[in-house]
Structure 1
């Protein structure tokens, strides 16, 4: 994908997708973003519109109800949505890369046939239950357990910060759980599919968050939740390794979302700097403002180049762990830095929640935390360098 930047444009099919999503973001998402953010309401009508466009099925084959595209196509959509509303963008990102993708990557034929069509259509959402009160970056600290009993898994434990887990259209949560102990004494962690209607499964009241207020996020409780043994997703004991693969891919998607947020701050700042006058001229004519916006544009461009490069490596079947970590690191920091600078450029208006830059200021911090903190990305890059 990096060659596309060098040649000045994307192939027609990618560019048409980008333009279509950009138009949807501008005409459908942006007008209601402030309202949903203020009310902390999930934008069902926007999600339905994305479903109608086929965005939830972008990287999946047509045989499962998908659009037959690829992960880069998903990333382009996320960047355009992220420019105007991160809550909407993360709903799509989590629904696809964390919700449906584990089933596509590791599911049996029967699991794919049962779950993927509804998830790819966007009629339903799935969530990925990984993080726990005592197991965030240290996912190996998982305490949720799953024990076999009469051909069923009995699951007990708690998860937290789980996106898309409590909406009216949530149909499934994939749960990491300790299913035994290995010969070396370490935990055997597996992943298990839990339908949202299963008795004992509870999506607790939603969090009161700093940002991403229109995104659905809940703590989850599993109290003697029983699901069939065949709901095991992938090989028993491979849950830890499989979720690492999912997170590597997801970091590219989060980098794309972050790039959109960074670029959205540039776009809003350019517009404001041309319109806002002080001391008899537009503030953009002042070098201090112009230089600040120029640095913001450089950050967004660098972030875009990084996630394009990571996506290219992934789709070519090459190792991409380091590139994904770099992309996530660079793009999330670009989003946060640009949000801070955009708020400063807007002055008092930047502190008002109805302005997009104010939402980006509140929303962007989580980009440096979710799906691997900044520190985790630095650790991964260091390891890939042999350190």
Structure 2
């Protein structure tokens, strides 16, 4: 259970979402479908409340909250505005490499700004031909001096990057040698770096306010003191970060599914057919019960993994399980919620059709659910 302080943060999040986000989400998502726009004011509101830096140390500007609390905050946001919840999770992911693998000097220099609530980060890992196969990336960083570098020059393109063109920094994974997965490194690129360019936002089926586009490194010079970890450690850093990032997506998917379930239950109570609420029909009532079981099991899976992480125990397999269970369940619950509303659910008069579209991508990003099955099975068989 969360501490009193943790519960206060969850309650504060629920209050902010109801007052600040809920009144604008429908129009913002509808408008962004034709003209992509990142809802920066929503992130500013959350940042001012200290909700963008919850799991990080107080000495660097974080709130030093357990991951269990942070994820419940993400779930609360997702139950109101999924695009923003995904952005919060992405931002947390971008801070992770410096917080976990950075030197003491880097933490003191970089983290306070990252965690201030005024900045938003982007996580540059994927490429068009290097999604699940991270080791196939071709974006390269060339040192000005191989023996004692003072800077790196980046050349290449990253794809599917949330916050591209809006981020204040880009936690970027690049190739520093041709030694396959052992040749990758991590650099934190300033958002105003010369040579940093951006593609046209992708036209997506959902999460319209999560603006996504390519990031082009056209000869971007980055100081060597922004290299996180050792050269060649990038793969290990990326995979470690993704374990935590998958929990953020699991929590967000759970919040989305909870929102869909709540709408379906309300409709089933109010909608009358044959002289009684449709929820009185056992076939529909059992469908709602299955939806509740799916949401509850998703929440339990991500909280279990979070508690392992908070205890300092291995949680990679459990994070993959949580991501798999929560996102598959979100897809099923949002689809069933549309069915509960019947023809109304298929219209834009209700947000269920949007929830259904938003749920789909959760099975794809932060590692497809096929990759999650690979991660889980390998750990089972290796043990």
Q: Secondary structure of the residue that 1:180 maps to in structure 2?
A: coil
| Aligned counterparts of 2:177 and 2:123: Cα–Cα separation in 1 | 21
- Counterpart mapping for 1:50-69 below 5 A: 50-69=46-65
| Aligned counterparts of 1:79 and 1:234: Cα–Cα separation in 2 | 31
Is the aligned partner of 1:73 residue 2:105? Answer: no
Residue 172 of structure 1 is matched in structure 2 by: 169
- Counterpart mapping for 1:348-387 below 5 A: 348-386=343-381
Q: How many angstroms does 1:19 deviate by?
A: 1.9
Instruction: Name which of 114, 122, 127 aligns with 1:119.
Output: 114
Is the aligned partner of 1:17 residue 2:14? Answer: no
Residue 205 of structure 1 is matched in structure 2 by: 200
Q: How many angstroms does 1:17 deviate by?
A: 2.0
Is the aligned partner of 1:44 residue 2:40? Answer: yes
Instruction: Name which of 178, 182, 198 aligns with 1:181.
Output: 178
The question of whether the paired residues in 2 share the 8 Å contact of 1:166 and 1:217 is answered with: no
**TM-score (norm. length: structure 1):** 0.93
Residue 18 of structure 2 is matched in structure 1 by: 26
Q: How many angstroms does 1:20 deviate by?
A: 1.7
Q: How many angstroms does 1:341 deviate by?
A: 0.3
| Aligned counterparts of 1:129 and 1:53: Cα–Cα separation in 2 | 27
Q: How many angstroms does 1:356 deviate by?
A: 2.4
| Aligned counterparts of 2:62 and 2:275: Cα–Cα separation in 1 | 55
| Cα displacement string for residues 117-140 of structure 1 (whole angstroms, at most 9, x for unaligned residues) | 222122011111000010000101
Instruction: Name which of 312, 322, 325 aligns with 1:327.
Output: 322
| Aligned counterparts of 1:186 and 1:314: Cα–Cα separation in 2 | 25
Q: How many angstroms does 1:218 deviate by?
A: 1.4
Instruction: Name which of 307, 310, 330 aligns with 2:302.
Output: 307
Is the aligned partner of 1:93 residue 2:92? Answer: no
Q: How many angstroms does 1:249 deviate by?
A: 1.0
Q: How many angstroms does 1:217 deviate by?
A: 1.3
Q: How many angstroms does 1:28 deviate by?
A: 1.7
| Cα displacement string for residues 286-318 of structure 1 (whole angstroms, at most 9, x for unaligned residues) | 112111111000000000110111011111111
| Cα displacement string for residues 137-181 of structure 1 (whole angstroms, at most 9, x for unaligned residues) | 0101111111112532011111001112222xx211011111013
Q: How many angstroms does 1:79 deviate by?
A: 0.7
| Aligned counterparts of 1:119 and 1:216: Cα–Cα separation in 2 | 20
Residue 209 of structure 2 is matched in structure 1 by: 214
Q: How many angstroms does 1:343 deviate by?
A: 0.8
- Counterpart mapping for 1:234-245 below 5 A: 234-245=229-240
Q: Secondary structure of the residue that 1:192 maps to in structure 2?
A: strand
Q: Secondary structure of the residue that 2:203 maps to in structure 1?
A: coil
Unaligned runs of 5+ in 2: none
| Cα displacement string for residues 317-350 of structure 1 (whole angstroms, at most 9, x for unaligned residues) | 1111111111000000111000100011112222
Residue 157 of structure 2 is matched in structure 1 by: 158
Q: How many angstroms does 1:187 deviate by?
A: 5.1
Residue 250 of structure 1 is matched in structure 2 by: 245
Q: How many angstroms does 1:354 deviate by?
A: 4.8
The question of whether the paired residues in 1 share the 8 Å contact of 2:134 and 2:181 is answered with: no
Residue 140 of structure 1 is matched in structure 2 by: 135
Residue 7 of structure 1 is matched in structure 2 by: none
Number of positions where the alignment pairs a residue of Structure 1 with one of Structure 2: 374
**TM-score (norm. length: structure 2):** 0.94
Residue 84 of structure 1 is matched in structure 2 by: 80
- Counterpart mapping for 1:278-289 below 5 A: 278-289=273-284
Q: 1:354 to 1:228 in 2, by over 3 A?
A: farther
| Aligned counterparts of 1:19 and 1:64: Cα–Cα separation in 2 | 24
